[in-house]
Amino acid sequence: MTQTPEQVWEVFHQSARGEPHVHVGSVHATDADTAVLMAKEQFARRLACVNIWVVPSDAITETPYEDADMFEHGTDKSYREAFGYETTKRAKAVGDAAEL
Amino acid sequence: MVSFNTQHLTDDKPGDPGYERQLSAFEARISRGDKVEPGDWMPYDYRQQLIRLIHVHANSEICGALPEGTWIPHAPSLKRKLALVAKVQDEVGHGQLLYRAAETLGKPREEMIEELISGKAKYSNVFHYPAESWADVCVIAWLIDAAAIVNQKMMADGSYGPYGRALKRICYEEAFHLTHGYDMCISLATGTRLQRDMLQDAVNRWWKPIMMFHGPSDKESKHTELLMRWGIKLRTNDEQRQEFLRKYLPKMLNLGLKIPTEWEMRFDEATKTWHYNEPQWDEFLHVVRGNGPVSAQRLETRRLSHEQGRWVREALAAAAAGKRVPLPPTAYANRG
């Protein structure tokens, strides 16, 4: 008897409708339906869950950790973040000046 | 998971055999606070209204990059220029996120882009006006983004999952736009006489489009009731306008800015609402139908940019199909 080889399925768990699906782990299974069953048993028994995705691991393309520096910025980019500005202090100074 | 094919969804129009039964289950879900996902049953009108709204929103992000993009070469300092480039880049990215969200409802991206370029699809009233000075860029970045955030924060809690998720990410980035815009306005407001006048001029010109930004008054808005019933929209246009005014008008006054007197802006302490002269809504409709001062110019820029990017789309398609990737048109030109 030939047996369908098991493969690894990555499991994505959704805690409430509208929330993003979050990767929580992986299971071994021969097909998608079995993978859902396994995922349900392992990741949805206690955590609140409304939906599960299973994706064959080999369908996922990832960036190598060795290349993590590709996410680094070469220069200071605080100018593109809200915390990079001191508007509250500056605006208050205008108000104070106006009251004088 | 996400398909453009919506043919399998049946009984989604009033009068279809199973419509009433499905509708009441759907509305029960909405009132429980459930989010709707692409494959779910939804009323035909829910789908169409969302496509309309997200499409207009996506177009507005794309067209919103145009008045500001014009000013990148003229930014007064390197820091302002970097921030403006970052903002314009964000806005175009938001457009892409939103086109994707609308695609999950069955409308292809190419169709949406064609409808924008041909003038069939609408975009926000504020981007039908020119940015005449650097101060206009500052007012757009602060006040128009503030008005947009009021709208987007509300829509992020709406009933359609993909739109809400896209908006959460968008609101995070808008927070930078808003703060930077405020920072720029503070600089002008505390600057020379010329700079203060320039800022006041920009406010004078932009106040009308800003007052119209959240759309027709509740008395005239024809979509609001249905949109609120289905949890797409959680507050009316006038409620959003009041929230914007309550939050930002005091900040403007603090900077010494004045609202053009014809608006007769007056705060009612008892009801915590701003009173003002009702905008001319027929003018608003005329503008958003493509008759604003620079409507034609905006679409022409967009059309040209779409044409110039065609070779990239073709090259990507060729590469994906394993075919020879064509060179950019300029590469041929340079060969002589």
From first to last of its 336 residues, what are the pLDDT tens digits of chain B? Answer: 444 566 557 899 999 999 999 999 999 999 999 999 998 999 999 999 999 999 999 999 999 999 999 999 999 999 999 999 999 999 999 999 999 999 999 999 999 999 999 999 999 999 999 999 999 999 999 999 999 999 999 999 999 999 999 999 999 999 999 999 999 999 999 999 999 999 999 999 999 999 999 999 999 888 888 999 999 999 999 999 999 999 999 999 999 999 999 999 999 999 999 999 999 999 999 999 999 999 999 999 999 999 989 999 999 999 999 999 888 877 666 554
Mean pLDDT score across all residues of chain B: 93
- Using left for φ > 0, alpha for ψ between -120 and 50, and beta otherwise, residue B214 falls in alpha
> ipTM beyond 0.95?
no
Q: Which of B125, B132, B127 is nearest to B287 (CA)?
A: B125
Q: Which of B199, B143, B200 is nearest to B174 (CA)?
A: B143
**Amino acid, single-letter form, for residue B107:** K
**So what's the pLDDT on residue B89?**
95
CA of A35 vs chain B CAs: smallest distance (Å): 16
Handedness of CA B235, B93, A13, A37 (dihedral sign): positive
**Amino acid, single-letter form, for residue B147:** A
Q: Does A100 touch chain B (CB under 8 A)?
A: no
3-class state of residue B180 by DSSP: helix
Q: Which of B264, B153, B148 is nearest to B214 (CA)?
A: B148
Q: Please, where are the H alpha helices in B104-159? A: 109-117, 134-139, 145-156
B220 contacts: CB under 8 Å, gap ≥ 6: B281
Question: Which H/E stretch holds residue A56?
Answer: strand A51-56
Determine the residue among A51, A73, A81 to mutate to test chain B binding: the one whose Cβ has the most chain B Cβ atoms within 10 Å: A81
* Nearest CB neighbour to B186, from listed A17, A20, A87: A87
* pLDDT surpasses 90 at A95: no
Decide if A41 contacts A11 (C-beta within 8 A): no
Report the alpha-carbon distance of residue B185 to residue B252 in Å, rounded.
9
Report the alpha-carbon distance of residue B72 to residue B74 in Å, rounded.
5
Can you say how many angstroms the Cα of residue B270 is from the centroid of all Cα atoms in its chain? 33
CA of B81 vs chain A CAs: smallest distance (Å): 10
